[in-house]
Structure 1
Amino acid sequence: MLLHKKEILNLLAEEPEALHFASLLRAFGGRHIKNELKQIVDDLVRSGEILRLRGNRYTLPGADNSGTVQGSISIHRDGYGFVKPESGGEDIFIPGKNINNALHGDKVSVRAEKSRSQRGKLEGRVVAVLERANSRIVGRLQQSRRGATVVPEELRIGTFFTVPANAVNGAVDGQQVVIEVTAWPVGGRPPEGKVVEILGWPDDPDVEVQTVIRKFDLPHTFEPETLAEAQAIPSQVGKNDLKDRVDLRKLPTVTIDGETAKDFDDAVSIRQEGHNFRLWVSIADVSHYIEPGSMLDREAYLRGTSVYFPDRCIPMLPERLSNGICSLNPHLDRLTMTAEMLFDQQGRMLESSFYSSVIKSDARLTYTKVKQVIIDGDEKVLEEDRGLAPMLLQMKELALILQTMRRQRGSIDFDLPEPEIILGLTGQTEAIIKSERNLAHQLIEEFMLAANEAVARFVSGQEMAFIYRVHEPPDPTKLTAFRDFILPFGFTLEMQGDRVEPSAMQRLISDAEGKPEERLVNYGLLRCMKQARYAAENLKHFGLASSCYTHFTSPIRRYPDLIVHRLLRLALERKAGTLGKKGQRELDRIGSTLSEAAEHTSTRERVAMEAERDIVELKKLQFMQGRIGQEFDGFIAGVAGFGCFVELSEVFVEGLVHISTLADDLYNFDEQNHALIGRRSGRTLRIGDPVRVRVVAVNPQARRIEFVLESHSTVRRDVAAAQPAAPEEYPRIPIRGKRPVPKGAGNGNRRR
């Protein structure tokens, strides 16, 4: 009898319970086919099409009787992983020995149980891989006498791919390539692939960027149909476009952005009315040009957000739109959606209105120019625009009022430094400096936050479907651990049971300001926070202490903002009683997809952030490769059982001083106090201590810079360092490339 695997799969699909092997044997003819049946069943188990349960029973993945849960696996570079169940609930820890051929990102089926060693937390074993995350892998080709292999750029994949001689396709040793997977790992056999694209040599700046693009599977070219739609859009505002729009072209209006920005999606204007301030925030009306369901719309949704690298942008919209007709370029008519708001001297919003408008920006100002006016008092920099300086000073006054009001209600301000990558003409990294952030940046942030909140309150007040920007309260377990963590440093975090108010966190940040532990407190608190995301229900925004918040101010580069613009227009029609059947159908259509859109755009945002962080990490490594042997001043930014992490003062770079290189003494890691303490000298290595280090190695593939300690000056020896032992748990300093920040993102956490 010749068995087919389809017959076995059909039988298991019909049975409500898992079947023992003996039952399968009886169903297909008895003992004379035992060997044939066993071979087919084993193949099905290896391929993940069926599951083998205890007692030699078999079932389909995901069946109720399997005792398993499904979810995507996230694998740490050290080999262990976590699975987030699709059905919700606690993440499941997967020891390295139980990953069973799964690769990072795969959808897997896991059997979980409470762990005795992990204090009752869930621990599991991968029983089947249901869906592979990536069919293409980017990595470096390595040739040896045994043949060719590709080491993935994504370290969390954790295995190499063999490439048969006839599948190398012209690639040579050391080049960055893209392979298509032809065989997945089975048992102890590594996966295989064939080279489908040769990117080039890894030290080429453009190859670095292309590697990151492939690694994160970023859509980076537009479909011809999309470009054709963009080309068909007029490059100038026509008379018909002005119908039913409020004409603000005579209102003094400016854009304020970074020096390198090209897509200007927000413009501001202000007028003092007695003791009150009337503020206009006008945002590019992208929804006027992007029809729902068009190729432009579908591709913008697919991307979700623009991605910013140090030397380029991967835009959400074609440049003809993002840098052209949608960009609020100076001295040109541009279509906008305006939020007009009136504030009193305490920062209370007395009234607000929203409408379609047309503006003509009077000037494209930079943060540097605005700073020279509102901080340095140098009005000569605006000689060409003499009437703008008084307006900027009024903006400064209102921004400070709004900032004070936000802090009083408990909004959390993480004033954390970010790097600016300085590139040479060839694209090589020449310097990594801390980017400046001053009142000019804060001014725009305050105005964008106010507009975002005003729009959210208005639309939600119409009792219609909406997409919110939400930020849920911190994890209570992490908060409690952090409260105990900072106690030896003399800091306290006020909590009510397992809850904390945003104002309590802001007080702690203020208490630490200017002290050696300031970074420790800021980054420790940041690690307790959950990630802001988009949602179709209003879960409030903890970090901003806002009961209702959204993203409205960056529709050129964020798809959720485009959704908000469409909903705002429908809300205005609904309020005016002009919605009509067509408008109601559009509202119903958007409402039916909001949950899916919120989840998708949140995911795309996280991918963009990871890609941006990854390219800056590569630039950092590239920069330090030419500085091996040099000495730098810095400070201890983190402590772990295997050593301490040092951030350099002259360049925004972090590296590891391994405990084995501390030659003056034998150091023990005090797990209770989270400190490295010398056995003989009692010398303590703690966060914030000034140090001088020498660069001894740079490992681009491992993403690691290694230092040795040359000198160490202890600021305070009476308090042990407080740092978690695991490398993923210490308050690491996130290093990201400088990018045009979406307005209204918030202070310190730019994607709020």
Structure 2
Amino acid sequence: MYRNNFRKQGTNGGKPVGKKDDFNKRNKSSRRVGDYVEGKVQGSGKGFAFLIPSDGGEDLFIAARDLFGAIHGDDVVAKVTGTRRGGGECEVLKVLKRNVTDVVGVFDGFGVGSIERGLGTVKVEFTGGVKAQKGDKVVAKIMDGSPVRCKITEVLGKEGDTLADIMGVIRSYKLREDFPAAVIKETAAIPDEVTDAEEKGRRDFRDDIVVTVDGATSKDFDDAISVVKKPNGYRLFVHIADVAEYVKENTPLDREAIERGTSVYFADRVLPMLPEKLSNGICSLNEGVDRLAMSCVMDFDGEGNIVSHEICEGVIRSKARMTYDWVESIFAGEDEAIRRADEKNVAIVPMLTAAKELAELLMKKRAARGSVEFDIEESEIVMGENGKVLDVRKRARLFSHKLIEEFMLAANETVAEHFATRKAPFVYRVHEVPPLEKVESLNDYLAAFGLSVPDKPAPEDYARLIESLDESVKGAVNRVALRSMSKAEYKPECLGHFGLAAEYYCHFTSPIRRYPDLAIHRIIKYFLRGGADAKKKFGAFVSEASVKSSEREKIAEEAERKVDDLLKAKFMQDKIGEKYTAVVSGVTEWGLFCELDNSVEGMIRVETLGNNFKYDEKRMLLGNGVRAFRMGDSVKIRVEAVNYDRVSFVLDEDESKR
């Protein structure tokens, strides 16, 4: 009935005709029965759902009978039918866009229980499709109509099998695995070695002491460094793989790269942006072979101020494929590490000594300008055969990591400033000022510690906050402060990088694995070769590359986090009942997130705490008047259960009695 009334009023592209005001601008306090609302369906996995309005108003409840074929993730038009609960109730009138077209989950003999928690179980249409057995992890295509049904298209393996679970995430996020035939054909035609013709017109850096420094298991090397100490300062060479020489504009390779946007890294595999022949071969700055590079040469004075720079096309030959641990051992003066370096070239250790001096200067200078250093540890997941998780641990952050990071930052800033001041079309890495509402929320939390930041903070305000913290609360405040910041993204406008306190910033240093870097390499080469009217040629391209790269980065990060959570949960499966000391890493109305020393995070549900615990949103705590839990608190927990990618904790008995 409502949908018929909706149609009678007239539509325009599936939307009611009329002012936008009538459609989307009523706030949560003024919505009335009969109002139209546009938004996204958020499923509960239990039949009912919620509408998340696109105007930012309060969520509305949708009963199962009022979904009319809409599912979790759909963009819809709905009509308000009641105002009794929360933001009200509504019914779906029209699905504007189906964002979830496939369901990945476990077949129970009748339906597929989705790993996408809001989707719930979708009944299977058995006519046609792939046959599956009960307990299989499957992929199924959602069919049109109401009630919603699906057809199985692929069996990934058995429920609980780690490799099948990882494949489930890959399918769920629609990540690309294999390369199309046209890409394989184009890649096959690319030479395996640098040709004489490609070297012509390039700066020759092959006699320089150039090295790569990466992780022990890395296979693609897209950056190399060299440092020369001079009487009045230092010269830093940052050489980046010249991927744009091989991935030409609007070719099958290029179109596939922009669709992928980034390489995706899981503990047991990589889904590369480029085929292996490029990423591990001709584009990789491998030891002892000639490679084409985009080179940024920077001169610094004795205080770390950059005084001049040059960006050019070069050719290099790496003297050594070094690891972070190896370089760290050299800095520690370990004889064996030094001997190994000398065997490669006796000039490597003196070069690294100069590099260490310059890195220390640059770190000090960046800290002085207000760059924010959260220094939150990353986790490392160690995999064995057949998907077994052998260990989960925090990855140590060495000085050698910071040295390479500092040199990449210097190159990124230098390149961004060079092209921003020339008003060239470009792709910038932008990190905007934290939004006011998040700053206010941060200050509400900081009030408990007698701390605050200004409503319109500068980077140095955050830096001073972090520096002032006692070690006992530093980790917790770091997390809250980090969450108050904007999300970095790619834009065609140079708007600066708040976290780095940098006026100019881009991503120049990883074109093997990030499309924005490849995009700006193409623009840089165009300028270096005397190209004219760059705005006409690249104006639309930088906008498209910025939007797509930001979208693909977000999807990749979500998928990587999902697999990490899944593998950490697998690691904890044989530890149910064991007791640990944990730190409260998050507080919500549903309970406490707690993190173990190895980075595994689990949740203590509020109902298990007992004694009427309530959530204080401003102070970010759960309390009952007798006891309160805040971020950063140390608690003793017991592992209660593991369910797919979720780990559940309860307070240890002794902790409960406090």
User: For residue 644 of structure 2, what is the aligned residue in structure 1?
Assistant: 700
- Show the counterpart of 1:171: 132
Counterpart pick for 1:82 among 38, 52, 67: 52
Is the contact made by 1:628 and 1:697 (CA closer than 8 Å) also made in structure 2?
yes
Change (3 A) 1:336 1:80: same
Going from structure 1 to structure 2, the CA distance change for 1:111 and 1:530 (only over 3 Å counts) comes to: farther
Aligned pair partner of 1:632 in 559, 567, 580:
580
Q: What CA RMSD, in Å, does the superposition of the two structures yield over aligned residues?
A: 2.7
Deviation at 1:68, TM superposition (A): 2.9
Letter in 2 for 1:335: L
Provide closer, same or farther for how the CA distance between residues 561 and 124 of structure 1 changes in structure 2, counting only shifts above 3 A: farther
Contact between 1:136 and 1:179, CA under 8 Å: does it hold in 2? yes
Q: Which residue of 1 aligns with 2:11?
A: 59
Are residues 117 and 141 of structure 1, via their aligned partners in 2, closer, same or farther at CA, if it must alter by over 3 Å? closer
Deviation of the 1:500 alpha carbon: 0.8
Report the counterpart of residue 270 of structure 2 in structure 1.
Answer: 313
Q: State the shift of 1:507 in Å.
A: 0.7
The residue aligned with 2:452 is 492
- Cα 1:92–1:569 change in 2 (3 A) is farther
Amino acid at match of 1:319: E
Is 2:551 the partner of 1:603? yes
1:275: how far off? 3.3
Alignment partner of 1:364 out of 298, 303, 321: 321
Q: 1:154 aligns with which of 116, 119, 122?
A: 116
Contact 2:61 2:89 in 1 (8 A): no
Distance 1:688 1:314, change over 3 A: same
- What are the within-5 Å matches in structure 2 for residues 231-310 of structure 1? 231-310=188-267
8 Å Cα contact 1:92-1:124 kept in structure 2? no
Name the residue aligned to 1:541.
Answer: 497
Aligned to 1:87: none
Partner in structure 1 of residue 430 of structure 2: 470
Identity of aligned residues (%): 37
**8 Å contact 2:359–2:403 — kept in the other structure?**
yes
What amino acid does structure 1 have at the position aligned with 2:634? P
State the one-letter code of the partner of 1:511.
Answer: S
Give the structure 1 partner of residue 29 of structure 2. none
Is the aligned partner of 1:218 residue 2:179? no
The one-letter amino acid of 2:122's match is: F
For residues 207-606 of structure 1, the aligned pairs below 5 Å read 207-374=164-331, 376-386=332-342, 387-493=347-453, 495=454, 498-512=455-469, 514-573=470-529, 578-579=530-531, 584=533, 588-606=536-554
Q: Determine if the alignment matches structure 1 residue 106 to structure 2 residue 70.
A: no
Q: CA deviation at 1:277?
A: 0.8
- Partner of residue 103, structure 2: 137
Deviations 1:345-376 (A, max 9, x none): 322110000110000000111111111122x2
| Residue range with higher mean Cα deviation, 350-359 or 421-430 | 421-430
Q: What whole-Å deviation, never above 9, does each CA across 1:544-592 have from its counterpart, x for those lacking one?
A: 111111111000011110111011122234xxxx32xxx54x7523222
- Asked if 1:711 is matched to 2:658, the reply is no
> Counterpart of 2:613 in structure 1: which amino acid?
N
- Give the deviation of 1:538 after TM superposition: 1.6
Partners of 2:514 and 2:287 lie apart in 1 by 22
Does the 8 Å CA contact 2:11/2:17 hold for their aligned counterparts? Answer: no
The residue aligned with 1:12 is none
The Cα shift of 1:696 comes to 1.7
Give 5+ residue unaligned stretches, structure 2. Answer: 25-36
- Asked if the contact 1:93/1:123 (under 8 Å) is kept, the reply is no
Match of 2:605 in 1: 658
> What pairs up with 1:610-689 in 2 under 5 angstroms?
610-649=558-597, 651-662=598-609, 666-669=611-614, 671=616, 673-677=619-623, 682-689=626-633
Query: For residues 501-535 of structure 1, what are the alpha-carbon distances to aligned partners after superposition, in whole Å with 9 as ceiling and x for unaligned?
Result: 110011111112x5221122111111111111111
What is the distance in 2 between the residues matched to 1:603 and 1:670? 33
1:728 equivalent in structure 2? none
Is the contact between residue 256 and residue 444 of structure 1 (CA under 8 Å) also seen in structure 2?
yes
> Residues 376-401 of structure 1, C-alpha deviation per residue, up to 9 Å, x if partnerless?
22253131322212211211111111
Q: Distance in 1 between matches of 2:485 and 2:41?
A: 20
**Partners of 1:252 and 1:535 in 2: how far apart?**
36
Task: Single out whichever of 342-351 and 250-259 deviates more from structure 2.
Answer: 342-351
Q: Would you say the 8 A contact 1:691–1:711 is kept in 2?
A: no
Sort the Cα spacing of 1:461 and 1:117 in 2 relative to 1 into closer, same or farther, 3 A.
farther
1: distance between equivalents of 2:222 and 2:44? 39
Q: Deviations over 1:31-65 (max 9, x none)?
A: xxxxxxx8xxx7xx4xxxx8718xx6342323541
Partners of 1:476 and 1:648 in 2: how far apart? Answer: 32
Q: Secondary structure at the match of 1:105?
A: coil
Post-superposition offset of 1:241: 0.9
Distance 2:200 2:627 in 1: 74
Letter matched to residue 23 of structure 2: T
With 600-609 and 423-432 compared, the bigger mean Cα shift is at 423-432
Instruction: Assess if the C-alpha contact under 8 Å between 2:6 and 2:16 holds in 1.
Output: no
Report the Cα offset of residue 410 of structure 1: 1.5
Secondary structure of 2:386's partner? coil
Given that 2:496 and 2:503 are in contact with CA atoms closer than 8 Å, whether structure 1 keeps it comes out as: yes
2:215, 2:227 → 1: CA distance? 21
The secondary structure found in structure 2 opposite 1:607 is helix
Whether the 8 Å CA contact 1:107–1:129 is kept in 2: the answer is yes
Contact 1:137 1:181 in 2 (8 A): yes
Give the CA deviation at 1:156.
Answer: 2.9
Does structure 2 conserve the Cα–Cα contact (< 8 Å) formed by 1:176 and 1:211?
yes
Residue type at the aligned position of 1:156: G
Q: TM-score when scaled to structure 2? A: 0.90
Aligned residue type for 2:629 = L
CA shift at 1:425, angstroms? 2.3
- Residues of 2 paired with 1:587 and 1:440: CA distance? 39
One-letter code of the match for 2:599? F
Counterpart contact for 1:180–1:196, Cα < 8 Å: yes
How far, CA to CA, are the matches of 2:656 and 2:126 in structure 1? 56
Tell me: CA distance 1:364–1:630, structure 2 relative to 1, closer, same or farther (3 Å).
same
Partner of 1:730: none
The Cα shift of 1:678 comes to 5.4
1:442–1:527 distance in 2 versus 1, CA, 3 Å: same
The residue aligned with 2:34 is none
3-state SS of the aligned residue for 2:385?
A: coil
Contact 1:140 1:175 in 2 (8 A): yes
| Larger-Rg structure | 1
Q: Which amino acid aligns with 1:152?
A: S
The Cα of 1:203 is off from its aligned counterpart by 2.4
Letter in 2 for 1:176: K
Which deviates further from its counterpart, 67-76 or 360-369? 67-76
2:40 alignment counterpart: 73
Following the alignment from structure 2 to structure 1, what is the Cα–Cα distance between the partners of residues 474 and 515? 35
SS at match of 1:407: helix
Change (3 A) 1:417 1:384: closer
CA distance in 2, matches of 1:566, 1:431: 41
